[in-house]
Amino acid sequence: MSDPIQQRVEQVRERIAAAAQRAGRSPAAITLVAVTKTHPAEAVAAALATGVADMGENRVQEASEKIAQLASQRGAIRWHLIGHLQRNKARQAAELFDLVHSLDSLRLAEALSRNVSAQRVLDVLLQVNVSGEASKEGFGLPGGVENRAALPALLADVERIVALPGLRVRGLMTVAPWGSDPEQARPTFRALRLLRDELSRRFPQADWSQLSMGMSDDFAVAIEEGATIVRVGRALFGQRDQTMGR
Ligand SMILES: *Cc1c(COP(=O)(O)O)cnc(C)c1O
C-alpha cells in the first residue's frame, strides 16, 4: 500500500481531472496548491515526494520556519501565501513567497512594492470578497461586477496596483462562504470569474489569467466555474488541529 498522502493526492488529482473534463478544460491548466498550514515540514516533504510542488501557508512566521527547514528543496517548491498579510511583514513575505494570493488593499500593495528586492518581481493575486460575508477578507465587492456602487472604488485601486513596480498582478482569489453544500459556493466562484473578465477588459496591460478559488469541499465546483488554482488542505492532510489555523 502506498502512503496515505500519496493516496489522497491521487484521489484529489482524479477529482480535479473529472471536474476539468466536465467543464471541457484541460486538467493541466489547474494547479493544485497543497495547504500545509498547521502541518509539519515532514508533511510538505511527503506532498513534494508525490509530485505536488505548490504549497500554501496562511502565516508568514509559520511559513518561514518550514521554508528554512526545507531549504535544500527551495528550488523545487513554490510557496503560496493564502492568508491575510500585515503590512509590517511585507518585506519578509516579498522574500519568502512565489505568489501572494491575499493582496487585499492598496496600502498592502504599496508596502509589498516598496519591499520587493530590485532584481525580483513578486506575483500577486487580488483577493476579492464577492460573497459579502462580513468575516471574509479582501477587497469588498459583494455581488461582483453587478455592484455598481462599490465597483468604482475597486477599479481606482486596481488602476494604481497594476502600475506599481515590483509587483505583477496575475489574477484574482476568493474564499467562498462556508457551507455544507458545495453548490452554495458556485455563485461566488462565478462572480469572481465575471469580475476577472471585466478587469481584463479594463486593464489589458495586466495578466488576469489566474483564478484561485476552491478548497477541500468545493474545488470541483470551482474548477467548473473556471478556477486555475485550487487550495486544498484537509482533503490531502486530514483535519487540522482547531487551535491552530482555521
Ligand atoms: C485553510 C485554507 C484553505 C484550505 O482549506 P481546506 O478546507 O483545508 O482545504 C484554502 N484557502 C485558504 C485561504 C485557507 O485559509
Q: Is 104 within 8 Å of 136 (Cβ atoms)?
A: no
Identity (one letter) of the amino acid at 244?
A: M
**Residues in the ligand 1 pocket, defined by CB under 6 Å:** 35, 37, 58, 82-83, 175, 215-216, 231-235, 246
From the alpha carbon of 216, which atom of ligand 1 is closest?
9
Residuewise pLDDT in 10s, the chain (246 residues):
557 899 999 999 999 999 999 999 999 999 999 999 999 999 999 999 999 999 999 999 999 999 999 999 999 999 999 999 999 999 999 999 999 999 999 999 999 999 999 889 999 999 999 998 887 899 999 999 999 999 999 999 999 999 999 999 999 999 999 888 999 999 999 999 999 999 999 999 999 999 999 999 999 999 999 999 999 999 999 998 765 554
- Model's pTM, two decimal places? 0.96
| pLDDT score at 39 | 97
**80 beta partners:** 56, 99
| pLDDT score at 138 | 97
| pLDDT score at 136 | 80
Pocket test for ligand 1, best of 35, 125, 133, 219 (most atoms within 8 A of CB): 35
Instruction: For residue 78, give Cα distances in angstroms to 31, 82, 128, 165.
Output: 11, 13, 23, 22
Q: Is 37 within 8 Å of 58 (Cβ atoms)?
A: yes
| Pairwise CA distance, residues 172 & 208, whole Å | 7
Q: What is the SS3 assignment for the chain?
A: CCCHHHHHHHHHHHHHHHHHHHCCCCHHHCEEEEECCCCCHHHHHHHHHCCCCEEEECCHHHHHHHHHHCHHHHHHCEEEECCCCCHHHHHHHHHHCCEEEEECCHHHHHHHHHHCCCCCCEEEEEEEECCCCCCCCCEECCCHHHCCCCHHHHHHHHHHHCCCCCEEEEEEECCCCCCCCHHHHHHHHHHHHHHHHHHHHHCCCCCCCEEECCCCCCHHHHHHCCCCEEEECHHHHCCCCCCCCC
Q: Is 125 within 8 Å of 100 (Cβ atoms)?
A: yes
| pLDDT score at 70 | 98
| Pairwise CA distance, residues 80 & 241, whole Å | 21
Task: Give 246 Cα–ligand 1 centroid separation in angstroms.
Answer: 8
| Pairwise CA distance, residues 81 & 89, whole Å | 12
| Pairwise CA distance, residues 63 & 60, whole Å | 5
Task: Give 234 Cα–ligand 1 centroid separation in angstroms.
Answer: 8
CA-nearest of 1, 15, 62 to 236 is 15
Report how far Cα 36 is from the mean position of its chain's Cα atoms: 13
